[in-house]
Structure 1
Amino acid sequence: MMRQNLFSPRKLVRKFTPAMRPLPAVPYGAVQMPVKTGETLGRIGSLEVRMARNFKEVKKAQRLRYEVFYEEMSAVADAQTLATRRDADPFDAYCDHLLVVDHASLKRNKLGRLKPEIVGTYRVLRQDVADRHGGFYTSAEYDIQSLIDANPGKRFMELGRSCVLKPYRNKKTIELLWHGLWSYILRHKIDVMLGCASIEGTNPDAMADQLGFLHHNSLAPEEWRVRAIENRFVDMNRRPAADINQKEALRALPPLIKGYLRLGAFVGEGAVIDHQFGTTDVLIVMPVSELNTRYVNYYGADASRYAS
């Protein structure tokens, strides 16, 4: 029996992604220098967002990722990952690592020194760096090179490995992470963000409403559309829009994906099952020119809201 939808999909998307207006030119000239290793990008109380200072801090971020992805969620660890208790791959060596650290929670390192705890992280990879090291991580799941080739004058950046320690999953920590990202985007004059976001589980039929909601309401327009590579393509259009309870499907989406939608993100065509991490991935594409002005204004066109 067809379910009656009392909520318009378009209205729901507008609720979570308020109507966009033309974005004013970002004043790149207001911030001249690129982000430096270890530079503080913002602060709220005891929480600070900054770039990792050294490989020791990257290893701590990898341990945080292990705790979230492997211990809390359902990622399957290989022998190396189990032995080190770190979520690590070759991309970590040349990506930049955005960190949220809590100066009120101090942990002793191996030398007995007290250091602020790392409670959140984002891994970012700029196109110029990716080009020197074999490309983006996302290219193993989506044909993003076609989009890059179609936009030769634009700077792309990949987002990935986002996670926050469970006690810190609150508005303050998430806002600080996004403030750090926005600062980074301005400093490096990024034009387009992309990356995979995950829905927990590997059975696409069990998440048909969520995938269908994204397909019917957030599919990227042709000029920004990217398709999952053929041997991993999973159809997201698993149910007619009229059969989906739009409100419930939206509520069931992971907070990170809903956050991207609020910012004005699109999704790619087709999902990809990641058996190692126990997830079904969707591609997120966010042109900076399409970002919702509400959020740009909130953090400041010069990323000044939480500047320290």
Structure 2
Amino acid sequence: MAAMRTLRLRCFGPAAAQEGDVFDARSTHILVEDRADGTLVCCYRLMLLDGGSLNQSYAAQFYGLGTLAAFKGRMLELGRFCVAPDRPDPDILRIAWAVMTDFVDREQIHLLFGCASFAGVDTAVHLDAFALLRARHLAPERWSPQVTAPEVFRYAARLRRKPDLRKGWAGMPPLLRTYLMMGGWVSDHAVVDHAMNTLHVFTGLEIAAIPDRRKSLLRALV
């Protein structure tokens, strides 16, 4: 666990590198190591939930999830996902998602969700990405999380610009980009998290919406 905390420190800063929190204690932790030298290159945690226990999730600290309480099926919260900054190998991300896919299959998960973060709290840096989210990837109204955090950027209501698709896609964090490629959706606002120095959006992925070909590719890696 020491290696996990060190990697979190490198990726998120001191706020995420503490000894552990109540969410760590409730979660299954996935560690991806380099076989050559045993170095930890990726880690994340997974917490099993359902509509009745959503208020125990990490995301519930920042978003009103009452609408999702009616979702039928088991849920899985993905948290503290980080990849070593000096290891920009796309295979690491693919392996991490393949392991997660195996977990989803075994536990019969219907909804994967979490918080996807943009670096920094300056919204101006990410306007093309937010415009693209507004145009193409907002949550269905019946599942849309409500505003509860004290400071948010209501990008869906405020932005009127047409997104630059190239800049918007390039500006998406890798984790969020993967969610969206599989059919994921996001909240209509971003939470300004000064403690973590990030802007994050709630992200949901209904497992039934993932294209069969992509599911097959991920399962083949396990």
Q: TM-score when scaled to structure 1?
A: 0.66
| Residue in structure 1 matched with residue 3 of structure 2 by the alignment | 60
Superposed displacement of residue 226, structure 1: 1.7
Distance in 2 of aligned mates of 1:239 and 1:269: 11
Residues 266, 284 of structure 1: 8 Å contact kept: yes
| Residue in structure 2 matched with residue 102 of structure 1 by the alignment | 34
Distance in 2 of aligned mates of 1:94 and 1:221: 29
2:147 matches 1:225: no
1:69 aligned residue (6, 12, 18): 12
Residue 31 of structure 2 aligns to a residue whose secondary structure is: strand
Distance in 1 of aligned mates of 2:114 and 2:39: 26
Distance in 1 of aligned mates of 2:36 and 2:209: 37
Residue 160 of structure 1 aligns to a residue whose secondary structure is: strand
2:39 matches 1:126: no
Q: Which has the higher strand share?
A: 2
Comparing 154-163 with 254-263, greater Cα deviation is found at: 254-263
Superposed displacement of residue 134, structure 1: 6.2
2:56 matches 1:135: yes
Distance in 2 of aligned mates of 1:230 and 1:201: 17
2:173 aligned residue (245, 249, 254): 254
Superposed displacement of residue 121, structure 1: 0.5
- 1:86/1:216 CA distance change after superposition, 3 Å: same
For each residue in 1:184-209, what CA deviation from the matched residue of structure 2 results, as whole angstroms up to 9, or x when unmatched?
Answer: 00111110011100011112233222
Q: Which protein, 1 or 2, shows the higher relative CO under an 8 Å CA cutoff with sep ≥ 6? A: 1
Residues 65, 87 of structure 1: 8 Å contact kept: no
- 1:61/1:145 CA distance change after superposition, 3 Å: farther
Larger Rg: 1
Residues 149, 191 of structure 2: 8 Å contact kept: no
CA RMSD of aligned residues (A): 2.2
- Which residue type is aligned with residue 119 of structure 1? V
| Residue in structure 2 matched with residue 13 of structure 1 by the alignment | none
Distance in 2 of aligned mates of 1:87 and 1:177: 23
- Which residue type is aligned with residue 211 of structure 1? F
Structure 2: state its 5+ residue gaps. Answer: none
Structure 1: state its 5+ residue gaps. Answer: 1-57, 71-76, 106-115
Residues 67, 144 of structure 2: 8 Å contact kept: no
Matches within 5 A, 1:36-51: none
1:240 aligned residue (143, 154, 160): 160
Residues 143, 227 of structure 1: 8 Å contact kept: yes
Distance in 2 of aligned mates of 1:232 and 1:139: 15
Distance in 1 of aligned mates of 2:140 and 2:12: 32
- Which residue type is aligned with residue 141 of structure 1? F
Distance in 1 of aligned mates of 2:63 and 2:29: 23
- 1:230/1:99 CA distance change after superposition, 3 Å: closer
